[in-house]
């Protein structure tokens, strides 16, 4: 597969932005700067970017508790996101939602979601709207390996098939739901077959390889845009951090994290491929790195200096109208 230079540069930039956003968020959480519960996406960047590189602002995504990567990949304003993590009134959600509820409707981001498998049914609705309106938009739901055992996930998958709507179920297998391995939580040996039994194709990819995810997602999205109903993408790739920041990670085997960072790194893989094919020079990628670092520095500096919300904002935005 060869991709245009702009696509390659943008994909790398997005993955790098997610990586640095998360690593900085991690450092700031450890410094006690960011309140609440934060779940980091580090390691899984190629999943989000490989999918979202196929999407326009008119397509929608719905995300999870581990949502920063999805939102950045779909084009959310990085500085607004960082401000939201800090709880500023200038954050993307005015400090009301925080890490777990980042949303940017202008970019087609229907929100990160704190309820496991809360998203898939909602994405069916967005896909249904596309079908009723007769356009070729698609609706992607990201959810984890833990989400596939929720009734809402089953219901959404079946409904999408019944209605033949362009919903894309992206299941990110990072092997764990909190502290439980997928080999325990999913009762059958073949989750792909179990999912395909709903009646739609599932395309599997190595989540450390941007090109693999891009290709698998491309097939799924093409299927849905062509009016053939829903499709699935399974991307396998471990997360580099704990479930949440502060997780003691008792479930990891010896050397597991080292192996992940060393041998399953989408950024390293991307650079190696560029070196091999000569499509992008390493200086070009270095330049992207520098720009990303500057952006993240700026985002953190602005988030720290951003205005704080005030008590009267508590009761704003509960409704649009409040009766007479």
Partner 1 sequence: MPVKTMRDAINEALHQAMAADDSVFVIGEDVAGCMGSNGKPGSVGGVFGVTTGIYDKFGPLRCVDTPISESAIVGAAAGAALVGMRPVAEIMFADFVGVCMDQLVNQMGKFRYMFGGKTTCPAVIRFAAGGGFSAAAQHSQSMYQVMTSFPGLKVVIPSNAYDAKGLMLQAIAEDDPVLFFEPKALYQESCEVPDEMYTIPFGKAAILREGDDCTVVAFGQMVGRAAAAIDALAEEGITCDLIDPRTSSPLDTATILESVEATGRLVVVDESPPRCGLTADIAGLAADRAFHALKGPIKQVCAPHSPTPFAPELEAAYLPSVEKIIAAIRGTMS
Applying CB under 8 A, the residues found at the interface with partner 1 are 35-37, 87-89, 93, 95-98, 100-101, 113-117, 146-147, 149-152, 176-187, 250-254, 256, 308-311, 313-315, 318
Instruction: Return the number of the residue (66 or 225) whose C-beta is nearest partner 1.
Output: 66
144 binds Mg ion (CB under 5 A): yes
Residues 6+ positions from 94 with CB-CB distance below 8 Å: 309, 313, 317
Task: Give the residue with the Cβ less far from partner 1, 97 or 108.
Answer: 97
* DSSP per residue, 261-273: HHH--HHHHHHHH
> Is residue 203 helix, strand or coil?
strand
Secondary structure of residue 237 in the 3-state scheme: coil
Q: Do residues 63 and 105 touch, judged by C-beta distance below 8 A?
A: no
C-alpha distances in Å from residue 187, one per residue of 1, 181, 205: 36, 11, 21
For position 145 contacting Mg ion by CB under 5 A, the verdict is yes
Question: In the complex, what is the shortest distance from the CB of residue 177 to Mg ion, in angstroms, rounded to a whole number?
Answer: 5
3-state class (DSSP) for residue 321? coil
Nearer residue to partner 1 within complex by CB, 53 or 84: 84
Q: State the binding partner of 134 from ligand TPP, partner 1, Mg ion, none, CB within 5 to 8 A by kind.
A: none
Verify binding: residue 66, ligand TPP, rule CB under 6 A.
yes
Binding test (CB under 6 A) with ligand TPP, winner from 115, 290, 305, 314: 115
Residue with the shortest CB distance to Mg ion: 144
Assess contact for 239 and 72: CB atoms under 8 A: no
Give the C-alpha distances (Å, rounded to integers) separating 88 from 82, 98, 210, 224, 225: 9, 9, 33, 38, 38
| Both structure tokens of 96 | 């009301």
Nearer to ligand TPP, 208 or 292 (CB): 208
Instruction: Name which of partner 1, ligand TPP, Mg ion, none residue 315 binds, using a CB cut-off of 5 to 8 Å depending on partner kind.
Output: partner 1
Span of 5-13, 144-152, 223-231, 291-299 interacting with Mg ion by CB under 5 A:
144-152
Q: Kindly tell me the burial class for residue 251, based on how many C-beta atoms sit within 10 Å of its own C-beta (0-12, 13-18, 19 or more).
A: middle
Residue 13 or residue 65: which is nearer to ligand TPP going by CB? 65
Question: Does position 67 bind Mg ion by CB under 5 A?
Answer: no
Note whether 65 binds ligand TPP by CB under 6 A.
Answer: yes
According to the binding rule CB under 5 A, does residue 174 interact with Mg ion?
yes
The dihedral over CA atoms of 136, 219, 51, 192, expressed in degrees to the nearest 10, equals 120
Binding site partner of 66, from partner 1, Mg ion, ligand TPP, none, Cβ cut-off 5-8 A by kind: ligand TPP
- In the complex, minimum distance from the CB of residue 276 to ligand TPP, in angstroms, rounded to a whole number: 31
The secondary structure of residue 100, as a DSSP letter, is G
- Identify the CA nearest to 125 among candidates 167, 164, 158, 162: 167
Tokens of 166: 């362009």
Name the site residues for Mg ion (rule: CB under 5 A). Answer: 144-145, 174, 177
Name the site residues for ligand TPP (rule: CB under 6 A). Answer: 39, 64-66, 114-116, 143-147, 174, 176-178, 243
């Amino acid at each position: 597969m060869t991709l245009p230079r702009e696509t390659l540069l943008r994909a790398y930039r997005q993955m790098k932005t997610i990586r640095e956003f998360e690593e900085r968020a991690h450092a700031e959480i450890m410094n006690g700067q960011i309140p609440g519960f934060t779940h980091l996406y580090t390691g899984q960047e190629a999943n989000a970017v490989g999918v979202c590189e196929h999407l326009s602002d008119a397509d929608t995504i719905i995300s999870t508790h581990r949502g920063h990567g999805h939102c950045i990949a779909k084009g959310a304003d990085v500085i607004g996101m960082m401000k939201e993590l800090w709880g500023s009134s200038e954050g993307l959600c005015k400090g009301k939602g925080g890490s777990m509820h980042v949303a940017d409707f202008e970019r087609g981001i229907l929100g990160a979601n704190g309820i496991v498998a809360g998203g898939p049914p909602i994405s069916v609705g967005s896909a249904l709207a596309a079908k009723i309106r007769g356009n070729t938009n698609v609706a992607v739901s990201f959810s984890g390996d833990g989400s596939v055992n929720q009734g809402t996930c089953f219901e959404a998958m079946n409904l999408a098939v019944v209605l033949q709507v362009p919903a894309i179920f992206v299941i990110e297998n990072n092997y764990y739901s909190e502290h439980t391995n997928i080999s325990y939580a999913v009762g059958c040996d073949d989750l792909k077959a179990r999912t395909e039994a709903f009646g739609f194709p599932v395309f599997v990819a190595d989540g450390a390889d941007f090109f693999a995810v891009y290709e698998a997602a491309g097939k799924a999205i093409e299927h849905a845009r062509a009016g053939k109903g829903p499709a699935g993408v399974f991307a396998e790739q471990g997360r580099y951090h704990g479930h949440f920041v502060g997780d003691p990670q008792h479930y990891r085997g010896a050397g597991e994290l080292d192996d992940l960072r060393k041998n399953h790194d989408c950024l390293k893989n991307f650079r190696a491929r560029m070196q091999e094919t000569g499509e992008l020079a390493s200086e070009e990628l270095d330049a992207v790195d520098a720009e990303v670092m500057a952006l993240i520095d700026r985002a953190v500096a602005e988030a720290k200096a951003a205005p704080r919300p005030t008590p009267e904002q508590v009761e704003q935005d509960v409704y649009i109208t409040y009766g007479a």
